[in-house]
Amino acid sequence: MNAELRTRVLAAAAAEPSPTRAAVSRRNMLIAVVAAASGIGAFMIFAEFMSESQLLRLGGEVVPQQSLERSVWLVAATVGGALAVAAMALWLALGRGRSMLGRSRRWLLYGGVLIPVSLLAWKVGCSIVFGDAMVPWPERPGERCLALTLLVAAGPLLSFLAIRRRAPVQPALNGAVIGFAAGACAWVAVDAWCPVAYVPHLLLGHVLPLFVLAGAGALLGQMLLSLRPR
């Protein structure tokens, strides 16, 4: 083995300080706090402008002279289920199993698809059980929920990409799953804020932004997570 090459590599590494595991853990904790703060902050600002600071909305006027109220139990069930899915999505997106190469393509593909499917299925399932919430709301096609989801998820998406840092294989797919995970976190907030469970509204306002975020995550993942020679 070439001793000169060994000396050169070791000298290059010594000249470039790199953080230890403890430093990376501290940095990731800080980024996680920033992600949570940015998401919650964006949600509060949006709620301030759109619904006079109401973070939890149980109902509203479906059409003139007809209003609908969600049961608190329904909100607890949908928000609780969404929280569980978001936690699993984060585990899938940010965890790497026991390999430095991250999760396999199959895990990422199936897991990524399951995130929006399970969120939608849970929301619809709970709403069917509680009945009234499924009625059409002509005044609310879903564009405000779409905007809210994108706004709340933007900070977490960037933060999660910063936590993941590098993906030597499948950076775009990893980025897409991170996008889904950020969207799942935002779904929790949107679920508390939006009383509508009409399926076309859910598809446009709640599910579509998840795919937009996954697309953005894939693009950003390809740019930020892939290895580049310095």
Partner 1 sequence: MVPDLDLGGADAAMERYATGDEAAFGELYDSIAPRLLGFLHKATRDAFAAEELMQETLLHIHRARGSFISGAPVLPWAYAIARRLMTDRARRRRVEQRLFAEAPADDEWMAHAPAAATETAEDVLHARRLARCLQQRMDALPELQRTAYRLLQQEGLSLKKAAEVLGTSVTAVKLRAHRAYVALRAAVREAGGAP
Nearer to partner 1, 165 or 203 (CB): 165
Torsion, Cα 143 149 151 153, to 10 degrees, reads -160
- Are 179 and 213 a contacting pair, CB within 8 Å? yes
Q: Cβ of residue 103: shortest distance to partner 1, in angstroms? A: 10
Examine residue 3 and tell whether it contacts partner 1 (CB under 8 A): no
Mask of contacts with partner 1, 144-173, x by CB under 8 A?
Answer: ---------------------xx-xxx---
Pairing of strands 59-63, 66-69: antiparallel
Examine residue 229 and tell whether it contacts partner 1 (CB under 8 A): yes
The binder of partner 1 chosen from 52, 64, 66, 230 (CB under 8 A) = 230
**Stretch (H or E) spanning 62:** strand 59-63
Q: Pick from 94, 141, 119, 93: which is nearest to 189 by CA?
A: 119
**Stretch (H or E) spanning 14:** helix 3-15
Q: Which two tokens stand for residue 155?
A: 């900070």
Examine residue 22 and tell whether it contacts partner 1 (CB under 8 A): yes
Q: CA-to-CA distance for 29 and 163, rounded, in angstroms?
A: 9
Nearer to partner 1, 66 or 99 (CB): 99
Question: Which 90-119 positions form the footprint of partner 1 (CB under 8 A)?
Answer: 96, 98-101, 104-106
- Are 134 and 200 a contacting pair, CB within 8 Å? no
Examine residue 66 and tell whether it contacts partner 1 (CB under 8 A): no
The binder of partner 1 chosen from 51, 118, 222, 226 (CB under 8 A) = 226
Q: Pick from 159, 154, 132, 134: which is nearest to 45 by CA?
A: 154
Q: CA-to-CA distance for 87 and 156, rounded, in angstroms?
A: 13
Nearer to partner 1, 138 or 229 (CB): 229
Examine residue 24 and tell whether it contacts partner 1 (CB under 8 A): yes
Stretch that binds partner 1, among 15-23, 79-87, 117-125, 153-161 (CB under 8 A): 15-23
Q: How many residues bind partner 1 (CB under 8 A)?
A: 37
- Are 165 and 100 a contacting pair, CB within 8 Å? no
The residue type at 207: V
Nearer to partner 1, 18 or 65 (CB): 18
Which residues lie near partner 1 (CB under 8 A)? 1-2, 5-6, 8-10, 12-14, 16, 18-25, 96, 98-101, 104-106, 165-166, 168-170, 226-230
